[in-house]
Homo-oligomer: A and B are copies of this chain.
Amino acid sequence: MADPTTRQPCVIVTGGAGFVGSHLVDRLVERGDSVVVVDNVVTGSWDNLAHLGDRIGRVEADVSTGLGLDGLPAGPPAHIDAVLHLASPASPPAYLQRPLETLAVGSEGTRQALEVARVHHARFLLASTSEIYGDPEVHPQPESYLGNVNSIGPRSCYDEAKRFAEALTMAYARAEGVSVRIARLFNTYGPRLRAEDGRVVSNLLTQAMEGRPMSVYGDGTQTRSFGYVDDTVDGLIRLLDSDVEMPVNLGTPTEFSVLELVEAVRRVTGTSAEVVHLELPADDPTQRQPDITRARELLGWEPKVGLMDGLARYADWLAGQA
Protein backbone atom coordinates (compact mmCIF):
# COMPACT_ATOMS: atom_id res chain seq x y z
CA MET A 1 0.00 0.00 0.00
CA ALA A 2 1.25 3.43 -0.89
CA ASP A 3 1.49 5.79 2.05
CA PRO A 4 -1.11 8.45 1.32
CA THR A 5 0.93 11.10 3.10
CA THR A 6 3.76 10.73 0.60
CA ARG A 7 1.73 9.70 -2.43
CA GLN A 8 2.36 11.81 -5.52
CA PRO A 9 -0.82 13.40 -6.87
CA CYS A 10 -1.91 11.42 -9.94
CA VAL A 11 -2.97 13.58 -12.84
CA ILE A 12 -4.45 12.43 -16.16
CA VAL A 13 -3.78 14.74 -19.11
CA THR A 14 -5.81 14.05 -22.26
CA GLY A 15 -4.13 15.59 -25.28
CA GLY A 16 -0.92 15.62 -23.26
CA ALA A 17 1.17 14.81 -26.34
CA GLY A 18 -0.03 17.98 -28.03
CA PHE A 19 1.50 21.43 -28.11
CA VAL A 20 0.05 23.02 -24.95
CA GLY A 21 -0.54 19.63 -23.32
CA SER A 22 3.10 18.54 -23.46
CA HIS A 23 4.31 21.76 -21.83
CA LEU A 24 1.71 21.31 -19.13
CA VAL A 25 2.95 17.75 -18.57
CA ASP A 26 6.50 19.06 -18.23
CA ARG A 27 5.42 21.43 -15.47
CA LEU A 28 3.40 18.79 -13.64
CA VAL A 29 6.29 16.32 -13.72
CA GLU A 30 8.68 19.06 -12.60
CA ARG A 31 6.65 19.67 -9.49
CA GLY A 32 6.42 15.99 -8.66
CA ASP A 33 2.98 14.96 -9.91
CA SER A 34 2.53 11.46 -11.23
CA VAL A 35 1.26 12.02 -14.79
CA VAL A 36 -0.56 9.75 -17.23
CA VAL A 37 -0.97 11.11 -20.75
CA VAL A 38 -3.84 9.90 -22.92
CA ASP A 39 -3.52 10.91 -26.56
CA ASN A 40 -4.40 9.43 -29.94
CA VAL A 41 -1.43 11.35 -31.45
CA VAL A 42 -3.47 12.43 -34.46
CA THR A 43 -2.41 16.07 -34.14
CA GLY A 44 -0.04 15.54 -31.19
CA SER A 45 3.11 13.42 -31.08
CA TRP A 46 4.90 11.27 -28.51
CA ASP A 47 8.05 13.06 -29.67
CA ASN A 48 6.87 16.03 -27.61
CA LEU A 49 7.27 13.90 -24.48
CA ALA A 50 10.25 11.73 -25.47
CA HIS A 51 12.55 13.63 -23.06
CA LEU A 52 10.42 12.47 -20.10
CA GLY A 53 11.24 8.82 -20.71
CA ASP A 54 9.58 6.54 -18.17
CA ARG A 55 8.77 9.41 -15.83
CA ILE A 56 5.20 9.48 -17.20
CA GLY A 57 2.56 6.92 -18.18
CA ARG A 58 1.38 6.92 -21.77
CA VAL A 59 -1.90 5.59 -23.17
CA GLU A 60 -2.52 5.79 -26.89
CA ALA A 61 -6.29 6.09 -27.09
CA ASP A 62 -9.02 8.17 -28.66
CA VAL A 63 -10.67 9.70 -25.60
CA SER A 64 -13.96 9.83 -27.55
CA THR A 65 -14.18 6.08 -26.99
CA GLY A 66 -12.70 6.05 -23.49
CA LEU A 67 -9.51 6.99 -21.69
CA GLY A 68 -8.11 3.46 -21.91
CA LEU A 69 -6.51 3.59 -18.46
CA ASP A 70 -6.86 -0.19 -18.17
CA GLY A 71 -4.16 -0.37 -20.84
CA LEU A 72 -1.44 0.93 -18.52
CA PRO A 73 1.21 -1.73 -17.75
CA ALA A 74 0.52 -1.51 -14.00
CA GLY A 75 -3.24 -1.26 -14.52
CA PRO A 76 -5.42 1.80 -14.00
CA PRO A 77 -4.34 4.22 -11.26
CA ALA A 78 -5.97 3.49 -7.90
CA HIS A 79 -6.30 7.18 -7.15
CA ILE A 80 -6.74 9.98 -9.64
CA ASP A 81 -6.52 13.49 -8.26
CA ALA A 82 -7.16 15.48 -11.41
CA VAL A 83 -8.24 15.01 -15.00
CA LEU A 84 -7.04 17.74 -17.35
CA HIS A 85 -8.92 17.54 -20.62
CA LEU A 86 -6.96 19.15 -23.45
CA ALA A 87 -7.59 16.60 -26.20
CA SER A 88 -8.85 18.19 -29.43
CA PRO A 89 -7.57 19.27 -32.79
CA ALA A 90 -6.98 22.97 -32.16
CA SER A 91 -5.84 24.69 -35.33
CA PRO A 92 -8.39 25.52 -38.04
CA PRO A 93 -6.79 23.35 -40.75
CA ALA A 94 -6.64 20.43 -38.29
CA TYR A 95 -10.26 20.61 -37.22
CA LEU A 96 -11.65 21.56 -40.61
CA GLN A 97 -10.09 18.32 -41.93
CA ARG A 98 -11.63 16.36 -39.04
CA PRO A 99 -15.02 17.93 -38.29
CA LEU A 100 -16.67 14.75 -37.01
CA GLU A 101 -13.71 13.76 -34.82
CA THR A 102 -13.53 17.30 -33.43
CA LEU A 103 -17.23 17.24 -32.53
CA ALA A 104 -16.78 13.76 -31.00
CA VAL A 105 -13.85 14.68 -28.75
CA GLY A 106 -15.62 17.82 -27.55
CA SER A 107 -18.78 15.92 -26.67
CA GLU A 108 -18.18 12.23 -26.04
CA GLY A 109 -14.48 12.73 -25.24
CA THR A 110 -15.34 15.34 -22.64
CA ARG A 111 -18.00 13.05 -21.19
CA GLN A 112 -15.52 10.17 -20.91
CA ALA A 113 -13.01 12.42 -19.16
CA LEU A 114 -15.67 13.80 -16.81
CA GLU A 115 -16.80 10.27 -15.97
CA VAL A 116 -13.27 9.40 -14.83
CA ALA A 117 -13.23 12.56 -12.70
CA ARG A 118 -16.66 11.73 -11.26
CA VAL A 119 -15.76 8.16 -10.36
CA HIS A 120 -12.46 9.18 -8.74
CA HIS A 121 -13.79 12.36 -7.08
CA ALA A 122 -11.01 14.04 -9.02
CA ARG A 123 -10.79 17.68 -10.01
CA PHE A 124 -11.60 18.27 -13.69
CA LEU A 125 -10.06 20.98 -15.84
CA LEU A 126 -11.43 21.73 -19.30
CA ALA A 127 -9.22 23.48 -21.83
CA SER A 128 -11.81 25.61 -23.53
CA THR A 129 -11.03 28.34 -26.02
CA SER A 130 -11.54 31.94 -27.04
CA GLU A 131 -13.34 30.45 -30.05
CA ILE A 132 -16.43 30.10 -27.88
CA TYR A 133 -16.69 33.90 -28.28
CA GLY A 134 -16.85 33.44 -32.06
CA ASP A 135 -16.57 36.74 -33.93
CA PRO A 136 -16.99 38.94 -30.87
CA GLU A 137 -18.92 42.19 -30.85
CA VAL A 138 -17.41 43.22 -27.51
CA HIS A 139 -13.70 44.09 -27.05
CA PRO A 140 -11.89 42.93 -25.10
CA GLN A 141 -13.91 39.83 -24.17
CA PRO A 142 -14.63 39.26 -20.50
CA GLU A 143 -15.73 35.79 -19.43
CA SER A 144 -19.28 37.08 -19.08
CA TYR A 145 -19.50 37.78 -22.82
CA LEU A 146 -21.81 35.17 -24.32
CA GLY A 147 -20.19 35.06 -27.74
CA ASN A 148 -21.18 35.36 -31.37
CA VAL A 149 -20.74 31.90 -32.88
CA ASN A 150 -22.32 30.70 -36.11
CA SER A 151 -23.74 27.31 -35.13
CA ILE A 152 -23.92 26.17 -38.76
CA GLY A 153 -20.69 27.66 -40.14
CA PRO A 154 -17.67 25.56 -41.13
CA ARG A 155 -15.83 26.40 -37.89
CA SER A 156 -18.78 25.36 -35.76
CA CYS A 157 -17.34 21.83 -35.55
CA TYR A 158 -14.75 23.30 -33.16
CA ASP A 159 -16.56 26.28 -31.62
CA GLU A 160 -19.77 24.42 -30.81
CA ALA A 161 -17.87 21.36 -29.62
CA LYS A 162 -16.10 23.55 -27.07
CA ARG A 163 -19.29 25.38 -26.07
CA PHE A 164 -20.91 21.97 -25.61
CA ALA A 165 -17.91 20.83 -23.55
CA GLU A 166 -18.38 23.84 -21.25
CA ALA A 167 -22.09 23.09 -20.87
CA LEU A 168 -21.36 19.43 -20.13
CA THR A 169 -18.67 20.37 -17.62
CA MET A 170 -21.08 22.65 -15.79
CA ALA A 171 -23.79 19.97 -15.89
CA TYR A 172 -21.40 17.53 -14.18
CA ALA A 173 -20.55 20.20 -11.63
CA ARG A 174 -24.22 20.89 -10.88
CA ALA A 175 -25.68 17.40 -11.18
CA GLU A 176 -22.77 15.23 -10.05
CA GLY A 177 -20.82 17.54 -7.78
CA VAL A 178 -17.61 17.28 -9.82
CA SER A 179 -15.15 20.04 -8.94
CA VAL A 180 -14.49 21.76 -12.27
CA ARG A 181 -12.16 24.36 -13.76
CA ILE A 182 -12.65 25.94 -17.19
CA ALA A 183 -9.78 27.73 -18.93
CA ARG A 184 -10.54 29.68 -22.08
CA LEU A 185 -7.26 29.70 -23.98
CA PHE A 186 -6.55 32.41 -26.49
CA ASN A 187 -3.99 32.07 -29.30
CA THR A 188 -0.89 30.38 -27.92
CA TYR A 189 2.45 29.80 -29.62
CA GLY A 190 5.89 28.51 -28.78
CA PRO A 191 8.13 25.45 -29.15
CA ARG A 192 6.29 22.27 -30.26
CA LEU A 193 3.70 24.24 -32.20
CA ARG A 194 4.29 22.40 -35.42
CA ALA A 195 5.55 24.37 -38.41
CA GLU A 196 2.64 22.95 -40.39
CA ASP A 197 0.08 23.58 -37.66
CA GLY A 198 -1.63 26.26 -39.71
CA ARG A 199 -1.90 28.94 -37.06
CA VAL A 200 -0.78 32.41 -38.00
CA VAL A 201 2.40 32.58 -35.89
CA SER A 202 3.76 29.24 -37.07
CA ASN A 203 2.79 30.00 -40.67
CA LEU A 204 4.49 33.38 -40.81
CA LEU A 205 7.60 32.40 -38.89
CA THR A 206 8.15 29.25 -40.95
CA GLN A 207 7.66 31.09 -44.21
CA ALA A 208 10.03 33.88 -43.18
CA MET A 209 12.69 31.44 -41.98
CA GLU A 210 12.49 29.64 -45.32
CA GLY A 211 12.63 32.94 -47.23
CA ARG A 212 9.19 32.37 -48.70
CA PRO A 213 6.48 35.04 -49.00
CA MET A 214 4.37 35.35 -45.86
CA SER A 215 0.66 34.51 -46.25
CA VAL A 216 -1.72 37.11 -44.90
CA TYR A 217 -5.41 36.26 -45.06
CA GLY A 218 -7.49 39.30 -45.96
CA ASP A 219 -5.91 42.72 -45.58
CA GLY A 220 -4.08 41.79 -42.37
CA THR A 221 -5.78 44.45 -40.25
CA GLN A 222 -7.58 41.77 -38.21
CA THR A 223 -6.03 41.67 -34.74
CA ARG A 224 -4.98 38.80 -32.56
CA SER A 225 -3.37 38.37 -29.21
CA PHE A 226 -0.49 35.94 -29.01
CA GLY A 227 0.29 34.17 -25.78
CA TYR A 228 3.56 32.41 -25.15
CA VAL A 229 3.05 28.82 -24.09
CA ASP A 230 4.98 29.10 -20.79
CA ASP A 231 2.58 31.81 -19.68
CA THR A 232 -0.43 29.73 -20.73
CA VAL A 233 0.80 26.73 -18.79
CA ASP A 234 1.51 28.87 -15.73
CA GLY A 235 -2.11 30.05 -15.90
CA LEU A 236 -3.44 26.51 -16.27
CA ILE A 237 -1.50 25.33 -13.20
CA ARG A 238 -2.68 28.29 -11.14
CA LEU A 239 -6.27 27.65 -12.20
CA LEU A 240 -6.00 23.94 -11.43
CA ASP A 241 -4.67 24.68 -7.94
CA SER A 242 -7.24 27.41 -7.26
CA ASP A 243 -10.81 27.12 -6.08
CA VAL A 244 -12.11 29.13 -9.06
CA GLU A 245 -15.01 27.23 -10.61
CA MET A 246 -15.89 29.99 -13.10
CA PRO A 247 -14.35 30.08 -16.59
CA VAL A 248 -11.10 32.06 -16.75
CA ASN A 249 -9.60 33.66 -19.83
CA LEU A 250 -5.90 32.91 -20.32
CA GLY A 251 -4.37 35.05 -23.02
CA THR A 252 -2.33 38.11 -23.73
CA PRO A 253 -4.31 41.34 -23.83
CA THR A 254 -1.81 43.14 -26.07
CA GLU A 255 -3.35 43.22 -29.50
CA PHE A 256 -1.38 43.07 -32.69
CA SER A 257 -2.68 43.23 -36.22
CA VAL A 258 -1.50 40.43 -38.46
CA LEU A 259 0.55 43.03 -40.35
CA GLU A 260 2.27 44.06 -37.09
CA LEU A 261 3.03 40.40 -36.47
CA VAL A 262 4.57 40.26 -39.93
CA GLU A 263 6.88 43.13 -38.94
CA ALA A 264 7.87 41.39 -35.70
CA VAL A 265 8.60 38.18 -37.59
CA ARG A 266 10.79 40.11 -40.05
CA ARG A 267 12.77 41.64 -37.17
CA VAL A 268 13.20 38.35 -35.31
CA THR A 269 14.23 36.40 -38.39
CA GLY A 270 16.17 39.22 -40.00
CA THR A 271 14.47 38.58 -43.31
CA SER A 272 12.68 40.91 -45.63
CA ALA A 273 10.18 38.31 -46.82
CA GLU A 274 7.32 39.68 -48.89
CA VAL A 275 3.64 39.43 -47.99
CA VAL A 276 1.09 37.70 -50.19
CA HIS A 277 -2.57 38.40 -49.46
CA LEU A 278 -4.97 35.45 -49.59
CA GLU A 279 -8.73 35.26 -49.27
CA LEU A 280 -10.08 35.44 -45.72
CA PRO A 281 -11.61 32.08 -44.67
CA ALA A 282 -15.31 31.88 -43.78
CA ASP A 283 -16.19 32.94 -40.22
CA ASP A 284 -12.64 34.16 -39.50
CA PRO A 285 -12.96 36.47 -36.52
CA THR A 286 -11.81 40.03 -37.24
CA GLN A 287 -10.68 40.74 -33.69
CA ARG A 288 -10.03 38.72 -30.54
CA GLN A 289 -8.59 40.06 -27.30
CA PRO A 290 -8.91 38.69 -23.77
CA ASP A 291 -10.02 40.65 -20.77
CA ILE A 292 -7.84 38.99 -18.12
CA THR A 293 -9.13 40.87 -15.10
CA ARG A 294 -10.44 37.65 -13.59
CA ALA A 295 -7.15 35.78 -14.00
CA ARG A 296 -5.27 38.76 -12.54
CA GLU A 297 -7.57 39.12 -9.55
CA LEU A 298 -8.35 35.49 -8.75
CA LEU A 299 -5.18 33.73 -9.87
CA GLY A 300 -2.60 36.52 -9.59
CA TRP A 301 -1.71 35.61 -13.15
CA GLU A 302 -0.60 37.68 -16.07
CA PRO A 303 1.55 36.92 -19.07
CA LYS A 304 5.23 37.72 -18.71
CA VAL A 305 6.83 36.85 -22.06
CA GLY A 306 6.75 39.63 -24.65
CA LEU A 307 6.13 38.99 -28.33
CA MET A 308 9.71 39.56 -29.55
CA ASP A 309 11.14 37.35 -26.84
CA GLY A 310 8.57 34.61 -27.42
CA LEU A 311 9.00 34.73 -31.20
CA ALA A 312 12.77 34.43 -30.82
CA ARG A 313 12.43 31.37 -28.57
CA TYR A 314 9.94 29.79 -30.94
CA ALA A 315 12.15 30.56 -33.94
CA ASP A 316 15.07 28.84 -32.17
CA TRP A 317 12.97 25.73 -31.70
CA LEU A 318 11.76 25.77 -35.31
CA ALA A 319 15.37 26.14 -36.50
CA GLY A 320 16.30 23.06 -34.45
CA GLN A 321 13.57 21.05 -36.18
CA ALA A 322 14.65 21.87 -39.74
| A binding-site residues for B, Cβ under 8 Å | 99-100, 103-104, 106-108, 111, 132, 134, 146-154, 156-157, 159-161, 163-164, 166-168, 170-172, 174-176, 182, 246-247
Complex: A157 Cα to B164 Cα, angstroms: 8
> In the complex, which of the residues A146, A149, A153, A247 has the most CB atoms of chain B within 10 Å of its own CB atom?
A146
Q: What are 19 A-B contacts defined by CB distance under 8 Å? A: A99-B171, A100-B171, A100-B176, A107-B107, A107-B108, A108-B108, A132-B151, A147-B149, A147-B151, A151-B163, A152-B166, A152-B167, A152-B182, A152-B246, A153-B170, A156-B166, A159-B167, A160-B160, A163-B164
Residues of B near A176 (CB, < 8 A) are 100
Chain B residues positioned under 8 Å from A172 (CB to CB): 100
Contact B174 A154 (CB under 8 A): yes
B-chain residues with CB within 8 Å of residue A175 when the two chains form the complex = 99-100
Docked-complex contact A164 and B99, CB < 8 angstroms? no
| A163–B168 alpha-carbon span in the complex (Å) | 13
Q: Are the C-beta atoms of B157 and A150 separated by less than 8 Å? A: no
Chain B residues with CB under 8 Å of A168's CB are 100, 103
* Choice from B132, B148, B161, B174 contacting A164 with Cβ under 8 Å: B161
- A150 cross-chain contacts in B, Cβ below 8 A: 146
Report chain B residues within 8 Å CB of A164: 103, 106-107, 160-161, 163-164
A163 to B148, CA, bound (A): 12
Quick one: given A148-B146, A149-B146, are A167 and B161 in contact (CB under 8 Å)?
Answer: yes
| Selected contact of A171 from candidates B108, B157, B163, CB within 8 Å | B157
Provide the bound-state CA to CA distance between A156 and B168, in Å: 8
**Which chain B residues border A106 with CB–CB below 8 Å?**
164
CB atoms of B146 and A134 under 8 A apart: yes
- Residue in A108, A163, A164, A174 with the greatest tally of chain B CB atoms within 10 Å: A164
| Contact partner, A167, options B157, B171, B182, Cβ 8 Å | B157
- A107-B107, A108-B108 known, 4 other contacts, Cβ within 8 Å: A103-B167, A147-B151, A156-B171, A160-B166
